[in-house]
Structure 1
Amino acid sequence: MPALIKQHQYKRILEVGVALGGHAEALLNNTNVEQYFGVDPYRSNFDPEDQFIKTVGAYSNRSEQENCDYLYTWVKHYRLNQFGTRCKLIRATSAAAAATFTDGSLDCIFIDGDHRFSAVMQDLALWWPKLRPGGLIAGDDYAMASVAAAVNQFFAAEQKDLLMFSSEVGYQIWGVYK
């Protein structure tokens, strides 16, 4: 993603699904992004198909929600704090966060939140209008049947061509230009 962001000189980007913040940190370290928005509710049982929080919980005696609270604090104050005003971590659902953005206000959106079909469809419907013309909406986890089905269905209805990119670390990214 950093190479695509640099190539197009995107300045305002948003990521749905921050988790540990590694992708956010890579984007901010390796691009000239002026404003990164990271949206994640940090709520347990949010995506039952994603084992992320259970994996985090394997290293502590806390409840899943306590792990989510701890993770949010760590990502915000330790991992991403170094980027100051360039980075805004929004602890909210995708729907709640989308309601606070103006249509056409974002250059690039990366979808990596709830991986269930209905949730991916909702994320695409919520965030697609927020993307400016010429902007890129993208995501990973296309190998998950639910993600692929939602992405294919949504963009077929929009009559947009789906592109596949290789990331700098070797995983596949789907993307659509508006």
Structure 2
Amino acid sequence: MTAEGRTRVRDVRRRLAREGPAWTRGPERDFETVALPEHDGDRLRDLLIAEQVQTVVEIGLAYGSSALAVGEALLAVAAPHPRHIVIDPFQQQVFNNVGWDLLRSAGLDSLAELVAEPSSLALARLVTDGLVADAAFIDGSHRFHEVFVDLYFLRKIVKPGGLILLDDDHHPSVRAAVRYYERNLGFTELPEAFHTGSIEHLGGDAAAEAVRRCRAVRLPDPPFEPAFQDFTPF
């Protein structure tokens, strides 16, 4: 896509950050709470461009802020066959298709596909299909077991040495799931990745430690399977 196409995406991103979406679910300020802040989206975009990504899997569309940043990155890389697989079973029934409509308005539906299934089912099928992605972005369910399962499958989908990026790392459930993979399966945190990103307090407790909202980890290259006796508590 031309530079004009990238400008179109940036304009939609800026308008979304400035004005919010055309529709929001309750409660008040749901968009501000759920959506990836624009400056974190800029960092996400830049990380993906630096990785020269061609295929990205995203879990959770909601209002489309992160998906627009991913799409902007794919256009900037200008690979011959870019692919953006967005998994969100709630996009229509909970979010009134507002995120997907924004992607369409930005012209990104030519490279993005929306999979309206739970990520545990959709990712398993992508593994069976033999998909290889350069990177993934997780912002779906924040329940520990579901984040854990997302990471389980993405470890099989994202190429060795590829990136997995996560929103809302300040939730203890998300941090605990990632910590297992860091301590047992060779995921390496990239603390500099979001060094200028948003700050949140752990668990939403104003008295708790302040941490970065987003997290980036790199998969080991080559991948490995540890012996079951090598389990490290997390």
Q: Same fold (TM over 0.5)?
A: yes
Partner of 1:99: 124
1:42 aligns with 2:85: no
Partner of 1:175: 216
> Cα offset for 1:72?
4.6
Partner of 1:71: 95
CA RMSD in angstroms, aligned pairs only? 2.1
Segments of 5+ residues of structure 2 without an aligned counterpart are 1-43, 200-211, 220-234
Which among 85, 89, 99 is matched to residue 110 of structure 2? 85
Q: 1:30 to 1:133 in 2, by over 3 A?
A: closer
Matches within 5 A, 1:1-178: 1-32=44-75, 34-42=82-90, 68-69=92-93, 71-76=95-100, 78-81=101-104, 82-102=107-127, 103=130, 105-164=132-191, 165-166=193-194, 170=198, 172=212, 173-178=214-219
Paired residue type of 1:86? L
> Cα offset for 1:115?
0.5
> 1:39·1:90 contact (CA, 8 Å) conserved in 2?
yes
TM-score normalised by length of structure 1: 0.76
> 1:104·1:132 contact (CA, 8 Å) conserved in 2?
no
> Cα offset for 1:167?
7.0
Look up the SS of the partner of 1:135 in the other structure: strand
> 2:64·2:98 contact (CA, 8 Å) conserved in 1?
no
Percentage of identical aligned residues: 27
Look up the SS of the partner of 1:80 in the other structure: helix
Q: 1:163 to 1:84 in 2, by over 3 A?
A: same
> Cα offset for 1:149?
0.9
Q: Greater strand share, 1 or 2?
A: 1
> Cα offset for 1:99?
2.2
> 1:104·1:129 contact (CA, 8 Å) conserved in 2?
no
Q: Distance in 2 between matches of 1:131 and 1:70?
A: 28
> Cα offset for 1:30?
4.3
Look up the SS of the partner of 2:169 in the other structure: coil
Q: Of the two structures, which has the highest relative contact order with CA contacts closer than 8 Å and spacing of 6 or more?
A: 1
Paired residue type of 2:50? Q
Q: Number of residues paired by the alignment?
A: 153
Partner of 2:34: none
Q: Distance in 1 between matches of 2:161 and 2:181?
A: 18
Q: Distance in 2 between matches of 1:126 and 1:169?
A: 27
> 2:194·2:216 contact (CA, 8 Å) conserved in 1?
no
TM-score normalised by length of structure 2: 0.59
Q: Distance in 2 between matches of 1:70 and 1:142?
A: 23
> 2:48·2:73 contact (CA, 8 Å) conserved in 1?
no
Partner of 1:60: none
Paired residue type of 2:84? Y
